Amino acid sequence: MADKMKVQYIAPQDLKVPEVRITSAFDDEIYSMFKDDIAKAGISQPLLVAKHDGIFWVIDGKNRRDEALLQGLKVVPCVVVEMSLKDMQLRNLVLNRLRGKTKASEEVKVIKDLWEVHSVSIDEIVEKTGMARERVEQLLQIGGAAPEILEALDDGRIRVCHAFQLARIVDRGPQVRMLQYVIQTRTNCDMLKEAVEDALRIIAERGSGEKKVPVVTPPPLPTATCSICKLPHPVSDMLAPPMCKTCFAYAITAHEERKEKGQSPTVRRSPIAEAILGSEKIGEQGV
């Protein structure tokens, strides 16, 4: 970065946004306040802009730039620095991660672009961003994952450690099937690591031709039999004693009906026990 930074007023339409970058995300309430503040007071915090080959690139401030365009602002304040595209991405990575609200998939794409396009080593990324080496290595691996995995990562349904393990399986079909299993069973990272190790072993054996092995698929979802309807249900849908959610609702209903009839609430049989003992009657109601 150059030692001297300049503040300039630049038309928002003249500010380019890199295709690969991290952008801070707002929730609806904060975004509404953000828009209202710009409408009333304009943009008071300058955008951080890199000048490279005569082109102005937004490092930090894409949301402000976009809102300026929407509200028809003629110019926006910018702190301008001379910077290479590689350094621009590294700076974008640092500034937006510090805010805490970013999409993990964008972080993955920036790391991958630095590695593949700009030939930035892992050591340099770690040095200039302060990121843990293990995280950088995991993000590079996740760069080859199926889109469904990146989407689940952004939605918070899985963590980086899950995405990393899933991305170790090269074939995207098994990746997605294993992803579905992880989400449905809430598999932790240690258990997933063991499953992926087994999958990779099977794939290696199949490739060597030493022996025939089945296609790699995640194990079947564990089930348990409901004490009332006697049908199998996913373990994640079971309550204690083993009971599906539908039958549990009937148990609660039976308890409420008992209260409405004025029967003693101190009766020793619990609503669940009563529902179990009356399972034949419940079954006639369509459970």
110-148 pLDDT, tens per residue?
999 999 999 999 999 999 988 899 999 999 999 989 999
How far is residue 172's CA from residue 179's CA, in Å, rounded to a whole number?
A: 10
pLDDT band at residue 68 under the 50/70/90 scheme: very high
Strand locations in the chain, DSSP E? 6-10, 15-16, 47-52, 55-60, 76-82, 223-225, 232-234
The secondary structure of residue 239, as a DSSP letter, is B
Locus of tokens 């090269």:
170
pLDDT of 1 over the 50 cut = no
Q: Coil, strand, or helix at residue 45?
A: coil
Total number of residues shown for the chain: 287
Mean pLDDT of 232-242: 68
The residue-averaged pLDDT of 88-113 equals 83
**pLDDT at site 233:** 76
Written as six digits, the tokens of 124 are 């340099």
Which strand ranges, in their side-by-side order, compose the sheet holding 15-16?
A: 6-10, 76-82, 47-52, 55-60, 15-16
Contact 102, 131 (CB under 8 A): no
Task: Measure the CA–CA gap between 31 and 12, rounded to whole angstroms.
Answer: 19
pLDDT band at 197 (very low <50, low <70, confident <90, very high): confident
Residue corresponding to tokens 């039999």: 225
Provide the β-strand partners of residue 77: 9
pLDDT at 158 over 90: yes
pLDDT score, position 93: 85
- 257-285 pLDDT, tens digit per residue, is 666 776 654 444 434 334 333 443 433 44
CB atoms within 10 A of CB 13: 10
Q: Is the pLDDT of residue 198 over 70?
A: yes
Give the C-alpha separation, 285 to 128, whole Å.
66
Distance, in Å, from the CA atom of 163 to the CA atom of 103, rounded to the nearest integer, reads 14
Would the pLDDT of 54 be above 80? yes
Q: What is the mean pLDDT of residues 32-61?
A: 92
Question: Rounded mean pLDDT of 188-205?
Answer: 85
Give the pLDDT confidence score for residue 142 in this predicted structure: 93
pTM of the model: 0.61
Q: Which residue has the higher pLDDT, 248 or 207?
A: 207
Q: Do the beta carbons of residue 7 and residue 81 sit within 8 Å?
A: no
Q: Which helix (H) or strand (E) holds 284?
A: helix 279-284
Work out the burial of residue 23: count CB atoms within 10 Å of its CB; fewer than 13 is exposed, 13-18 middle, 19 or more buried. middle
Distances in Å between the alpha carbon of 36 and those of 39, 71, 77? 5, 11, 18
What are the structural domain ranges in the chain? Answer: 223-284
What pLDDT shows up at residue 3? 42
pLDDT, mean over the chain: 80
